[in-house]
Structure 1
């Protein structure tokens, strides 16, 4: 099998690690972030050291035939352990239970990794095997046990992680549920690798040659599983990263009609110019601030009687309480804007001694903006306002 099947996932893992490193530097004590980085590092190491060219280089550098085998198997155990720890920390729970589970998992897989080197040292594997060490030494004392031990550890980790993800699946929704489904598929694919390896080794024990299962059929399972697992971990993190800016942009856009209507009502000395490269979150806050300032300027012109009539009319036409309130607020705001423009000297503001209730303080500005859009485009009989989802 071409080394590209190993180096491509290794490259993806390296990119993922580099993306997470800045966050790790800022939050070095975050156990979940540490678990993510360790898992990505060990998984990347497995693919890098699993490539045939790397195996050759390791054996040449150490001068020990097949030394790349225990090195690769120990990295695999580290990857399995860090994957379980990642799921444990990701799911959360009582801190004491998380720490206890983490210690048990780390200790178990560290012991397995140490056992790999001990068994390799006790056994004899003088003939370098680059692709079929599992089956070639399937009947060699100690090397045989090393092979079985890494397969058992790898299979157990896949079963544990798939089980943890499956139990968690019913408690979550949306992007996290999709991520867990990808993880389950990835770890199930990992079991396909183990089944092929066990079958090939078992065939050698029975005196049969099924080496093709180990050398050809098993390897694609690894690449597929890694890509699914990487997507499973990455999808929720990516969605979470962009969800906030997307919500800000959506709210910013939906407030456009109300913002444009109130634009220019506030004295120019109170207007704050936005830098060209401001984030969408800052722009959303600036737009909301401008709307509140505009409503405060309009406050003396609010006609609460007009609002009450508009509210009753909207309810009479079958609007919901929230939509009716938004329609009534929109009608009052439009009337207040007209009244303010008809009073260029601001006599009403100068003589006002009463601050009327401002509709934007306790009501949904987005609904008011949509109601305004309907009114300005043809009247209250237009389509119902689009609701903003959390």
Structure 2
């Protein structure tokens, strides 16, 4: 795990650091973003140094066994304090208020680092332990004090992060920032689990326990709290791209569902079609950014076609018949209206000859009672229901059988 996951975490955090540095250069150096970027740098150092191969080389270069443990655990303390300060910068309206609120956190961090260095220097940790340093040495009298100082500050910091995120999240209007804060407090809670596992490293030897038994819990906790934190703190930046991707996926799905209905209507009423608009479904692969425009245009042209057919006697009769059949079938509201309009389209395609378009798409939609108040998204959803009803509704099929073809219309159609 340490040989693979730790370097991977270091790379991910360093990528996040570079991303935030670029954001600083582009958007200005607000204290919250500076603290966030710095936190990614320190946690990058933490996972890089905790990688056994790097640990061995740093120890050899400095000539002190296990000195790397002191360095990377000091980075963890700095990282934790930076996250706390970042949240305070976000929460408080002024930088001065944030510094004032973070005073005790800064003091705790500043006191912890020299205390850790002091107790580490007094401990006898001459045997290099790159994979189980805490579990192996935590039971020693002097080093146990070092571990306790480290863990108390770390755990207090994680509890504070959970508290700050829970306090701040309900006040946030931006959706992805709110989600990020919830992810961050969950990651903070995982960090508390890590702290408990490390506390057990100190306590277990006194009762004859073997700390190495839950070493995997501690390592997974360290990975979980870091990965969760990096997701939570960066998701406000990249989360909106997920929203846009999901929006495109939804619009493309609706485009595919409406395309057969649109193609049928524009073939029957060719004068409604705007040249160069809404090509085949497969053209989306060449012009993916046009989906929204094409979908909106499809709605307009479908409504234009309905405007041409709405006054034909067969269509009017089909509306009343389909409504009665739909009510008998237990349909109501939007589902009933979709079946009614699908039945009218089916009968019109069979009986109603095209005529010059005289009614705008918006007027036709308003007369249909489905456009006003719902906006284009509601209109698309409704027409998708109409297309589905046209394909498979038994009410539409029964309406077609009930409404006879009018001889005069049939003659007009056949020429």
Q: How far did 1:154 drift?
A: 1.0
Structure 2 counterpart of 1:329, from 341, 361, 365: 341
For 2:287, the equivalent position in structure 1 comes to 278
Show structure 2 runs of 5+ residues with no match: 373-377, 398-415
Identify if the C-alpha distance between structure 1 residues 245 and 202 changes in structure 2 by more than 3 Å, giving closer, same or farther. Answer: same
Identify if the C-alpha distance between structure 1 residues 272 and 250 changes in structure 2 by more than 3 Å, giving closer, same or farther. Answer: closer
For 2:407, the equivalent position in structure 1 comes to none
Structure 1 counterpart of 2:364, from 357, 368, 371: 357
For 2:80, the equivalent position in structure 1 comes to 80
For 2:408, the equivalent position in structure 1 comes to none
Q: Please, what TM-score do these two structures have when normalized by structure 2?
A: 0.65
Structure 1 position 259 matched with structure 2 position 262: yes
For 1:388, the equivalent position in structure 2 comes to none
For 1:386, the equivalent position in structure 2 comes to none
For 1:57, the equivalent position in structure 2 comes to 57
CA contact (8 A) 1:300 1:354 kept: no
What is the CA deviation profile of residues 80-111 of structure 1, one whole-angstrom value per residue up to 9, with x for unaligned ones?
2344466678xx8x652898457744x55554
For 2:413, the equivalent position in structure 1 comes to none
In the alignment, the residues of structure 2 paired with residue 22 and residue 260 of structure 1 have an alpha-carbon distance, to the nearest angstrom, of 47
In the alignment, the residues of structure 2 paired with residue 193 and residue 372 of structure 1 have an alpha-carbon distance, to the nearest angstrom, of 55
Q: How far did 1:70 drift?
A: 3.8
CA contact (8 A) 1:17 1:41 kept: yes
Structure 2 counterpart of 1:269, from 275, 278, 282: 275
Show structure 1 runs of 5+ residues with no match: 383-390
In the alignment, the residues of structure 2 paired with residue 100 and residue 176 of structure 1 have an alpha-carbon distance, to the nearest angstrom, of 21
For 1:46, the equivalent position in structure 2 comes to 46
In the alignment, the residues of structure 2 paired with residue 354 and residue 12 of structure 1 have an alpha-carbon distance, to the nearest angstrom, of 54
2:275 aligned counterpart, secondary structure: helix
CA contact (8 A) 1:162 1:184 kept: yes
Report matched runs for 1:224-235 at 5 Å. 224-227=221-224, 230-231=227-228, 234=231
In the alignment, the residues of structure 1 paired with residue 28 and residue 230 of structure 2 have an alpha-carbon distance, to the nearest angstrom, of 19
Structure 1 position 249 matched with structure 2 position 252: yes
CA contact (8 A) 1:112 1:149 kept: no
Identify if the C-alpha distance between structure 1 residues 254 and 354 changes in structure 2 by more than 3 Å, giving closer, same or farther. Answer: closer
CA contact (8 A) 1:116 1:146 kept: no
Q: How far did 1:250 drift?
A: 3.2
Structure 1 position 118 matched with structure 2 position 118: no
1:96 aligned counterpart, secondary structure: coil
For 2:405, the equivalent position in structure 1 comes to none
CA contact (8 A) 2:70 2:117 kept: no
In the alignment, the residues of structure 2 paired with residue 354 and residue 291 of structure 1 have an alpha-carbon distance, to the nearest angstrom, of 12
Q: How far did 1:286 drift?
A: 0.9
In the alignment, the residues of structure 1 paired with residue 297 and residue 386 of structure 2 have an alpha-carbon distance, to the nearest angstrom, of 20
1:262 aligned counterpart, secondary structure: helix
For 2:375, the equivalent position in structure 1 comes to none
Report matched runs for 1:205-224 at 5 Å. 212-213=210-211, 217-218=214-215, 220-224=217-221
